[in-house]
Amino acid sequence: MQRINKNVVLALLTLTSSVFLLFQLYYYKYYLSPKNGAVFSKVKGSQSGQDGIQWHVIKKFLGLVSSHNAPVYLIDPLVLGLIQKDYEQLSSSSDGMSPECKYFCAARDFTTFALLDKTWKHEVSLFRAAEKMGFQWLKIQNKDPRLEGMDDLSGIEIPLHYIFKLAAHAIHLVVFYERNGNYVWHGPLRLKQNIDRKFVPFRKLHFGRFAGAYNKPEVLQLSIDDLKVQIPKNLSQFLEEMSHSRFLECRYREARAFFQLYPDDASLDAVEFRKKAKALLHLAALTLNNLGVRFWLSSGTCLGWYRQCNIIPYSKDMDLGVFIQDYKSDIIPAFQKAGLPLKHKFGKVEDSLELSFQGEDDVKLDIFFFYEDDDHIWNGGTQAKSGKKFKYLFPKFTLCWTEFVELKVHVPCETLQYVEANYGKDWKVPVKVWDWKNSPSNVQYNGMWPVDEWDDVIQVY
Amino acid sequence: MDEWKPNAPAKQFVPRKNRSWYLAWKYKLMNQRAVRRLCQMGAVLFLLVTVIVNIKLILDTRRAASEEEEESAQDYDEGVQHLETPRRPTSSRKVLDIEVYSSRAKVYVAVDGTTVLEDEAREQGRGIHIIVLNQATGHVMAKRVFDTYSPHEDEAMVLFLNMVARGRILIFSIKDEGSFHLKDSAKSLLKSLGSQVVSSLSWRDMWSFVGKKGGEVYGEKHSKSPALSTWGDPVLLKTEVQLTSVEDAECRWPDTELNRRRRRFCTKVEGYGSVCSCKDPTPIEFNPDPLKDNKVLNVPVAVIAGNRPNYLYRMLRSLLSAQGVNPQMITVFIDGYYEEPMDVVELFGLKGIQHTPISIKNARVSQHYKASLTATFNLHPDAKFAVVLEEDLDISIDFFSFLSQSIYLLEEDDSLYCISAWNDQGYEHTAEDPSLLYRVETMPGLGWVLSKSLYKDELEPKWPTPEKLWDWDMWMRMPEQRKGRECIIPDVSRSYHFGIVGLNMNGYFHEAYFKKHKFNTVPNVQLRNVESLKKDAYEIEIHRLLAEAAVLDHSKNPCEDSFLPDTEGKTYVMYIRMEQEADFTTWTQLAKCLHVWDLDVRGNHKGLWRLFRKKNHVLVVGVPASPYSSKKPSAVTPIYMEPPAKEEVAGQVAAAEQT
C-alpha cells in the first residue's frame, strides 16, 4: 500500500512538472519570444525587427550614459564583427535606416562597451539614474596599477568594470585607463567575496579574463539599427588587437622583495646607464613598430623586467627577440636611419640570425631571431673568432603585452619558463659575470659555420 | 521459417528487455530498501525544486517585462522624486562614561573606557586640550590643543569653539599651564558654555570640563595652584553624558549628491564652521568661470599634504574657486594614513592618495614629494606638465589664467625649468603690477609648474634617497640640478602662504616673512608681453629698462623712503656692490632694511633684482659681478652696506629655512 501511495505521489509530481514545462514552453513561445527576439531563440535576428530586448536595453543604456556625459564606445566583438561585414554600406548611408534590426538584435546575452576613464567625470548620479530606469548594476573595482609600481602609495580603488543588467540583457562596460607608454589598459575582472557570482555569466564575458592593452582608440559615430553609437575607427585592427591583447602587470611586489635582498644600485653610473638604455629601447621600439615587426624583451632585459621591473644596471646591452618569420630586410637600414649603426650580423635568415646595433656610449642593442621547431623555440649564437655556433632552446611561448620603462612591449606570457630556460632555477640571484657561451642553462653547442660562409655569416663592423 | 525470423522476437525484445531491466532494478533495490527510499525521496525533491524554480522563473520574467513597460513611459528623466533614505530609529538611548584628567605632566580623556586622548610627552602639549564628541554616536570629531600660555592662542581657540556646531559635546582639560594668555573674551566664551570656574582660572591651575555646546553641563573640576612655583593637584573628572538620537544630531539638508558628501563629512569631523551649518551651509561646489582657451585645463594638479586638514580645507576651497580649475585633474597626496585630510578631500569630491611615510623630517617631505610627482605622471601619462601645490597655500583667482598664458614658455624655452606662482620678494610694499613677469635664478616653489621631461629625465632618477636628510627644494636649487636654468615668476604672487604650523614654520617666522606678502585678487589679469620672457628677448627687455631708468641718488641712505623720489610709475636703477657672483653682502643688508626676504638670496637674475618701491619700478644691479654693470655711469659709486656683527648672522642663518 505504502509503495503504491508513493508511486502515486511520484506520478502526480511528474505530471505537475510536465504541466509546468508545457506552460513554460507556451509562455516562451507566445509571450516572450516575439518581444525578446533572439535571447531565447537563436534563429530570430533579422525577422524580429527592432523590438529585440537587446536593442531596447542598449537604447536605454546609451540614453543613460549620454545624459551623464559618459562617452562610451562599442567594443562588442560579436556586434563589431557583424558591422565589419557591412561596414562600407553602413558608413556611406549615414541616415539610411535599415528596416530591420540586424546588428544589435543578434543573439547574445550581453553587449560590451568601453569607456575611457579620463573622458568621464565620474558622475555618480549616473548609477542612481540607472537604478531608476530599472537597471541592476555591479561595479568591479581594484587597485590602480599605475600606482602599484610605487612603494607605499595607497590610492583609492578604481572601477575596472561595470555591468548593467536589465531584463534578460546585460551591458558590460569596460573602463579603460591611459597608461605610460601611449596605450590604454583595462583590468581583469575578478570577483570579490561579497559579489553575486550569478549576476551575469561572468565566464562568457569577452573582456576581463585577463587584463588587456590596446592602442589608444580612435572612434567614429555611426548610426546602427537606428541607434547612434561610437565604434572604433579601424574595426579590423581593433578586432585583431583584441585577439592578443593580454597584458601582464610587472611583479612589483616580488621586485620590491628582490630589492630588499639586493639593494638597487643608485650610483650615478647606474642612473646614467639606465637612462641611456631606456632611450635606446624607446628608439628600438619605435623603429620596429614603424616597420610592423613584432618583438619581445629577451634575455637580460626580460630578466630585468621579470625580476626587478627595471633595467639591470650592470647589463651591458638591451636584448630583443623577433620571430624569424617577422624578419624584414629593411630592419638594418631602418636602424641605421634611426642613428643606430649595425655592429655585427651573425648567421643568416635561414639559420641563427642575430643583429647587433651600436647605441649611444657603448650601450648595445641585440636582436635575436627565433626559430620554431616541433616542440621548442630556439635562437642562435655565433662566436666571431672561431666560427662556433650555439643554440639556445626555449619551451614554446606566446606573447603578452606589458609595460616596461614607460613602453608598451611584448614579453613571453610564460615568462617564468622562459627565464628559467635561460637562467636556470637560480635566476633570482644576481650574477654579474655572465658568459653568453657557457652561463645560460639552455645553451647547446651547434657545430661550426662552414669556412666558406664566414664572410656572410660573421660580419663585424 | 522459424529460424528465419530473427527480427520478430527482436522487436518484442525491446519492451521485454526494458521491463526485465526495470524488474531487475526493482528487485535489486527491494533488497536495499534504504537505497530505494533515498532514490524516491531524491526524485520527489528534485521534482519539487523543478516546480518551484519554474514558478519563480515565470514570476521573474513577468516582473521584468512589466517593469520594462513602466520604464518606457517614464524614460530617462531623473531627480523627479527624492528617495527617502530610511533611518533606523535609535530606540535605545545610550550613555557615555567620560573621564577627564588634568595635571601638570599629563592629560587624558577616556570615553567609555577607550582612551581618546593621552598626552604625557615632556615639553609638549601645553595649554587647553579640547575634544569634540558627536552627541549621537560619541565619536571623536575633533581634537585640538591651544597653548593659551602663549599669546593669541586663545583667539584661535575662540575661533575654533565658535565653529563647533551646537549640540556637540565639548571636553576641556589643561596640561601644565593654560591661563597665562587666556584673555577675558575667551573666558567669557567658556563661561557661556557653562563653566563656573573659568573666570577664576589662574596660573598653573588644573581644570577639566565637560559640557554640551549651547546646553547642559556634565561636569567640571578645578584645583587651584597653591603658589606661583607649584602646580595645582591633578584633577580627575568622571561624568556621564546622555546620547541623543541621530536625527537630532544631523541637519536636514535636501538629499543631493553634494549634501550626502557634506553629511558624511559633518557627522565625522568638527571645526570647519559653516560648511556644516544646518541653516545656511557654505557651498562645497564652486563652479568658477571657465577660462577661454585654457591651456592648463588638462594639466594635472598635485596637492602635497600632510596632516593639517584645516589648512587643506582652506587650500582646496581657494583652489576650487580659481577660474579655469578642472577638479578632475586634482589629486591630493597625503603623507601618512590620516583620516581627517582624506575626509576633507572626499568632502570636495576629489581624488586622494595616501603615502606611507618614509624616513623622517625633511627627508620624509622629500620622499613624499617624489612619490607624489611620480604618481602624478603615472596617473596622467600624456601630461607634459604638472602643477605642484602645497596644503598651506591660498590660490589666486587667476592662478590658472596666469599659467595658461605663460606655460608655453616652458615648452619653447629650454633655459627655463619652472614657472612659479610665488615671488619671494613680492611683499605689499614691493610688488605692484599683476601683469608683470620676471625671470629668476632661484626656484621659489609654493605653487609651481614642473615639466615631465625635467622630472622624468633629470630629477626622478637621482632624487635624494631617504637616508639623505635633504630638503627637496634646496636640492632642486643646487647648480647640479638647475644647470643654469631659470624660473618665471609674477611680480604679484598668485599664491599666498598662510601656514603657520609646519616643519620649518612657526608663528614668528610667518609673521616676519609671509604675512605681508602681496597676493593677487584681480581676476583675468592679462599678462604683459609674455614673449619677452624668453631667454634672449628678456635681455633686450632688461637693457631697454636700464636705458630708460633714472639713476637714483646714491648718496642717500637706500633704506630710507626718501631714497626714492615721490613719483609714481617711473623706473629707477640703483647699483650695489657685488664683488663676484656669490657676493651678496650688500644685497642681504638691503633686503633686510627693505623688509623683504633676506634669509638667503632669492629673486636674482644675473646679479639683478627687480622690485617696486613707492609704486616705482626699481632695478638693483650688483657691480661689478652683474653683466649689467656696464650700464653704470662712471660717476656712480655702488652702494656698500656693512654686515652686522658675527653672532647675529649665525642666528639668522640657523633660522634660514626654505619655505
Set of chain A residues whose Cβ sits within 8 Å of the Cβ of B351: 155-156
Query: Hey, are the CB atoms on A180 and B381 less than 8 Å from each other?
Result: yes
B85 touches chain A (CB under 8 A): no
Query: Hey, are the CB atoms on B51 and A56 less than 8 Å from each other?
Result: no
A166 touches chain B (CB under 8 A): yes
Set of chain B residues whose Cβ sits within 8 Å of the Cβ of A153: 353-356, 371, 375
Q: Is residue B291 within 8 Å of residue B323, measured between CB atoms?
A: yes
Least confident of A29-43, B267-281, B303-317, B391-405: A29-43
Set of chain A residues whose Cβ sits within 8 Å of the Cβ of B43: 10, 13
Indicate the SS3 state at residue A248. Answer: coil
In the predicted structure, residue A82 carries a pLDDT above the cut 80: yes
Report the residue count for chain B: 659
Q: Is residue B438 within 8 Å of residue B621, measured between CB atoms?
A: no
Q: According to the per-residue pLDDT averaged within each range, which of B269-273, B333-337, B497-501 is highest? A: B333-337
Regarding pTM above 0.95, the answer is: no
| Percent above pLDDT 70 for chain A | 91
Beta-bridge partner residues of A372:
A377
**Residue B480 Cα, gap to closest chain A Cα (Å):** 12
Within 330-389 of A, beta carbons closer than 8 Å to B belong to: none
pLDDT, position A402: 96
| Percent above pLDDT 70 for chain B | 87
| Rounded average pLDDT over B119-126 | 85
| Rounded average pLDDT over B505-528 | 86
Q: Is residue A289 within 8 Å of residue A407, measured between CB atoms?
A: no
In the predicted structure, residue B13 carries a pLDDT above the cut 50: no
B297 touches chain A (CB under 8 A): no
In the predicted structure, residue A98 carries a pLDDT above the cut 60: no
Query: Hey, are the CB atoms on B54 and A275 less than 8 Å from each other?
Result: no
Query: Hey, are the CB atoms on A146 and B379 less than 8 Å from each other?
Result: yes
Q: Taking phi first (over 0 means left), then psi (-120 to 50 degrees means alpha), and beta for anything else, what does residue B96 get?
A: beta
**Residue B284 Cα, gap to closest chain A Cα (Å):** 16
pLDDT, position A366: 94
pLDDT tens digits, one per residue of A3-49? 567 778 778 877 887 887 787 777 666 555 444 443 433 333 343 44
| Residue A234: closest CA among A210, A218, A246, A245 | A218
Q: Where in A87-166 does DSSP place strands (E)?
A: 110-116, 136-142, 153-155, 158-166
Set of chain B residues whose Cβ sits within 8 Å of the Cβ of A151: 356, 358, 371
- DSSP annotation of A347 reads E
| Rounded average pLDDT over A195-203 | 83
pLDDT tens digits, one per residue of A310-339? 999 988 889 999 999 999 999 999 999 999
Q: According to the per-residue pLDDT averaged within each range, which of A87-91, A397-401, B84-88, B633-637 is highest? A: A397-401
Q: What is d(CA B472, CA B464) in angstroms, rounded to the nearest whole number?
A: 8
Q: Which of residues B94 and B235 earns the better pLDDT score?
A: B235
In the predicted structure, residue B455 carries a pLDDT above the cut 90: yes
**Residue B483 Cα, gap to closest chain A Cα (Å):** 17
pLDDT tens digits, one per residue of A402-413? 999 999 999 999
B50 touches chain A (CB under 8 A): yes
pLDDT, position A10: 77
Partner-chain residue, chosen from B328, B355, B457, that has the shortest CB–CB distance to A153: B355
Angle between helices A53-67 and A125-132 (to 10 degrees): 150
Mean pLDDT estimate for chain B:
85
pLDDT, position A48: 42
Set of chain A residues whose Cβ sits within 8 Å of the Cβ of B461: 271, 274-275
pLDDT, position A4: 62
Query: Hey, are the CB atoms on B382 and A275 less than 8 Å from each other?
Result: no
Query: Hey, are the CB atoms on B375 and A153 less than 8 Å from each other?
Result: yes
Q: Which of residues B218 and B470 earns the better pLDDT score?
A: B218
pLDDT tens digits, one per residue of A264-275? 888 888 888 998
Phi and psi for A276 in degrees, rounded to 5? Answer: -65, -45
pLDDT tens digits, one per residue of B293-325? 999 999 999 999 998 999 999 999 999 999 999
pLDDT, position A31: 57
First to last CA, chain B: 118
Set of chain A residues whose Cβ sits within 8 Å of the Cβ of B73: none
CA B124 to chain centre: 25
pLDDT, position A7: 75
pLDDT tens digits, one per residue of B593-639? 999 998 889 999 999 999 999 999 999 999 999 999 999 999 999 99
In the predicted structure, residue B647 carries a pLDDT above the cut 60: no
pLDDT, position A362: 83
Side by side, the strands of the sheet bearing B114-119 are B114-119, B107-111, B95-102, B235-242
Q: Which of residues B59 and A99 earns the better pLDDT score?
A: B59
Within 442-461 of B, beta carbons closer than 8 Å to A belong to: 456-457, 461
Q: According to the per-residue pLDDT averaged within each range, which of A189-193, B155-159, B245-249, B315-319 is highest? A: B315-319
Query: Hey, are the CB atoms on A167 and B68 less than 8 Å from each other?
Result: yes
pLDDT, position A95: 52
Indicate the SS3 state at residue A257. Answer: helix
Mean pLDDT estimate for chain A:
86
Angle between helices A299-308 and A252-261 (to 10 degrees): 90
| Rounded average pLDDT over B144-154 | 88
Residue A201 preceded by cis peptide, ω within 30: no
Set of chain A residues whose Cβ sits within 8 Å of the Cβ of B343: none
| Percent above pLDDT 90 for chain B | 58
Least confident of A155-169, A357-371, B47-61, B117-131: B47-61
Q: Which helix (H) or strand (E) holds B490?
A: strand B486-490
Q: Is residue A442 within 8 Å of residue A421, measured between CB atoms?
A: yes
Q: Which of residues A4 and B227 earns the better pLDDT score?
A: B227
Give the residue carrying C-alpha cell 656669490. B582
Query: Hey, are the CB atoms on A266 and B328 less than 8 Å from each other?
Result: no
Query: Hey, are the CB atoms on A10 and B40 less than 8 Å from each other?
Result: yes
| Rounded average pLDDT over B580-584 | 90
Set of chain B residues whose Cβ sits within 8 Å of the Cβ of A156: 351-353
In the predicted structure, residue B253 carries a pLDDT above the cut 50: yes
pLDDT tens digits, one per residue of B323-372? 999 999 999 999 988 899 999 999 999 999 998 887 777 788 898 999 99
B257 touches chain A (CB under 8 A): yes
Q: For residue A449, what are the contacts with CB-CB under 8 A and spacing of at least 6?
A: A382, A387, A388, A389, A457, A458
Q: Model ipTM? A: 0.79
| Residue B146: closest CA among B111, B114, B107 | B107
Partner-chain residue, chosen from A9, A32, A64, that has the shortest CB–CB distance to B44: A9
Least confident of A397-401, B340-344, B472-476: B472-476
pLDDT, position A17: 76
A4 touches chain B (CB under 8 A): no
